[in-house]
Structures are given as structure tokens and as C-alpha cells.
Homo-oligomer: A and B are copies of this chain.
Amino acid sequence: MLTREENETLTRTNAGTPMGELFRSYWIPVLLSEQLPEPDGPPVRVKVLGEALIAFRDSQGQVALVDPRCSHRGANLFFGRNEGGGIRCAYHGWKFNARGECVDMPTIAPEAVPRLCAKAAIKAYPTREWGDFVWAYMGTRRPLPELPWMEFARVPPSHRHVSKKLQECNWAQAAEGGVDTAHFSFLHQPVASSEDDMAQKAARAVRGYSSQSMNENHVRWMRDDARPRYEVKKHASGLVLGASRRAGPGEHYWRIAQYLMPAHAYTPSATEGQTYHGQTWIPIDDESCWIYVYSWNPVRPLTEEERQGYRTGGAVYPEMDDQWRPLRNRANDYLIDRQVQKTENFTGILGVSEQDAAIQDSQGFIADRTRELLGPTDLAVVQFRRLMLESARTLGEGGTPLGLDDPQAYLVRGGAIVAPAQANLEEAMTMRFGDALGRVQADPIPSTA
């Protein structure tokens, strides 16, 4: 439970807010690279952290992210011409490059241009492409931080799949769903009339996850132990969050997520050798966000079957239209089917991603955390909030929040393992990853890269 003031701090991300500045101090994804497929292609509107911007890929292939307002008369550069190393306003032809510099003012006499040019620059944010996303740096720190060494971005393109999905609520409650792995005992469960019935329904319930990572046993263990024991450890880029449930005799089933600053989480399901999934919550404004989603396998290329599954809805990917809006959404009650809810799964909604979105949206556009009754299974949520509020405070006091100066600290994994009942989180992690915090032992990219 938070105070009203803490809840505001956690959820508000416009420029000048503590959380807004925290997001801006990190590199964050703002687009899929595929949204800007070619040099001099159409510009794209981008709204991020409450700021309305446009992006375009210039003639050299560099992605620009700029204020859409032409400094001459305020026309919107979205309607401009992306050509010859910049975007040219359609009203009177002023042109701006990817750094926001005004590089042509055809209505101005040549002798007056130098004086005006300096005033005419528009706001532009540095961008990089990394892991098939366009990342932006909207903060003030110079020199720029390094991009985080997230594993999905470091494996060869053949080894990853990326996308994004629209979520119609505040970023923080959606991120809470990512660290709260306890809810799998309910929200994502199949409804089986008998144990015979379970196998098939469990498989349908976890569509898109590999059958090694999420099989009937895993689903049943989660159903049968609704009160996982949580352990949370802080590390150099965030938190590792483990929850263990009773499994076979003398064994525990550990599901261990990673939360990486400022808003990345890795899902807790992947078993040895299986494909990993991650999600990154980037506010559009305070009542909606883009969730950037990615899957990667460090030891092999993704199969076409995996990709096809992700494209059509499964794992962290909902079924979507061509604007990355889930087909099951707020406006249609996620196509909830009450008969399906009686006989097939816990919600009557199809898809793990969709079930998450539905229940998170249902907490309101901005969840009211002043009225809650938290218990031990909410420990991950509590730790997440504490980390975020502390980090915003640290930044505000001139400090450096976790990970910002330590890009290699992002080279971690989360996943699942069945361990002896007496093992604690660090022991389970060591069994699973060879490291107590899930740090990657064999970087997919040589250190010279």
C-alpha cells in the first residue's frame, strides 16, 4: 500500500516528474526498427513519456526523434518531406536534420540564415538501434550512457524475435504484473473438470511457451500451490525475484524473474535451453503504455514455428492488428467468453498476454494503491515499488540509479528450475544459471564486440 503521494510519484512520468526524469536518465525503446524500414521513408508519430514527437529515418539511415513543431510558424513536420538528410516542412520549406539543426531556410535571405539558424533548432533526442528497437535518450546526462547489455539485443538477429503491444493503463501496474509471478496460480490457469482433462487444457492455456518450459506439471504445480514463497535480491541493474512452489516430493518449482531498471522484466518460465522472453514498459502517457516484447534463445536460432506462434499470439505476444493494438482490449472486454470461463480457463479470455492486460487494465487507468491488502505473495510488487521510488529519489539527489553506469550488469537471465526443497533462491539460481543472480556466464557476443 502506498500513500497518495507515493502513488503519484510511481505513476507520473511527464517531463519534470521524479519518475519521468528517472525514465529519461536511461536509454529506452521508442519504436520498432521495422516501423522505419528505409532511409527517407515516411515519418512516424511517437508519443513517449507524455511528449508528442516524430521519428524519421534520414538519408544516411540514422533515426531522428524530434519535436514535430517547425520553428518557423509551428506547422507539424509530420506532414513534411523526409529527403536529403532531413525533414523539410511542407509549409515554407524549412529543413531540419536528425540533430534538430535547421539546415535550410529557403524563405530567408542567405545573409540572414547564419544568425537565424541557431535560434531555429528544434528539440532532438539521440537515438540508437539495438536489438531491432529504436532507443532514445531523453535525459540530460552527457556523455551519453552506454546502451544496456540486454542479452536479446546481443544475440544474432536470427536468435531473437521482437514486437510491441499497446496497453491501456499506467505503466506501473502493468510492470507489477510482470514481477508478480504469484498470479499464475489463478489468472492463467486452465479450468479442468478432471485430471485427465488437464493436459490438453494446460497446453492451450500456455500457448506460445515452449512445452519444455511450461508443461502440464508446471501448470499443475502452480495451481496446487497458490502461496509461493518469494525471495527478492537486489543486484547491480535491478532485482532478481524468485518464487518457489511445491513440486514433486522433496522438490520445489522455482520461477525466477528479473526486473531491470528502469522498466524491463524477464519472464520466469524458461527452463534450460529454452527460449527467454522479456517485456519493457514505456509510458505513452500516464494512462497508456507501449510494452516492448522480445524473445531470444542464446544457443540457437528461433524456429519458424516459434516466430509464427509469436506473430499470431502466444507467450508474451497477444493477437494484434497492424497497429500493435491487441484484438482483445478494453473496448471489447477482451472478448471475454463466460462459457469459456466456466469450462476452459480461469478468465474466459484467450491468451496469457491478453489475460494480463485485462486484469491490469481493470485496476483502473491508474491503479489506486492507497487501498490494498497486501500479503506475503505480494512481496515482489512491494520490492518493485520500493526500488522505483528509491531510484527516483536517488536520481533527484544527484546520485546514479542502478545500472545506469553499468551496462554489463544487464547481462542476466531469469528462468525456472526444479530444485531440492531446501535450496534457497541463490542456490536455485546457481543450479540454473551457474550464478547466484543469474549473471550470464557465456556472453553471446565476444567482449571485443
Chain B residues within an 8 Å CB radius of A81: 341, 346
Among A66-74, A159-167, A430-438, the one that faces the other chain is A66-74
CA distance A112 to B120 in the complex (A): 64
CA distance A349 to B81 in the complex (A): 12
CA distance A119 to B74 in the complex (A): 49
With A107-B182, A226-B106: A358-B73 Cβ-Cβ less than 8 Å:
no
CA distance A105 to B75 in the complex (A): 54
Check if A149 is an interface residue, CB within 8 A of chain B: no
CA distance A90 to B92 in the complex (A): 54
With A90-B187, A185-B93: A107-B75 Cβ-Cβ less than 8 Å:
no
Closest to A226 in B: B106
Q: How many copies of the polypeptide does the oligomer hold?
A: 3
- A interface size (C-beta, 8 A): 59
Chain B residues within an 8 Å CB radius of A74: 363-364, 367-369, 371-372
Top-4 shortest CB links A-B: A76-B362, A42-B338, A93-B186, A106-B226
Chain A interface residues toward B at CB < 8 A: 41-42, 69, 71-76, 78-79, 81, 89-93, 105-109, 112, 116, 119-120, 182-183, 185-187, 226-227, 333-334, 336, 338, 341, 346-347, 349, 355, 358-359, 362-364, 367-369, 371-378, 381
For the A-B complex with A74-B369, A108-B227 known, give 12 more contacts whose Cβ atoms are closer than 8 Å.
A41-B338, A71-B372, A74-B363, A75-B362, A79-B358, A91-B183, A92-B226, A93-B186, A106-B185, A106-B226, A107-B377, A109-B227
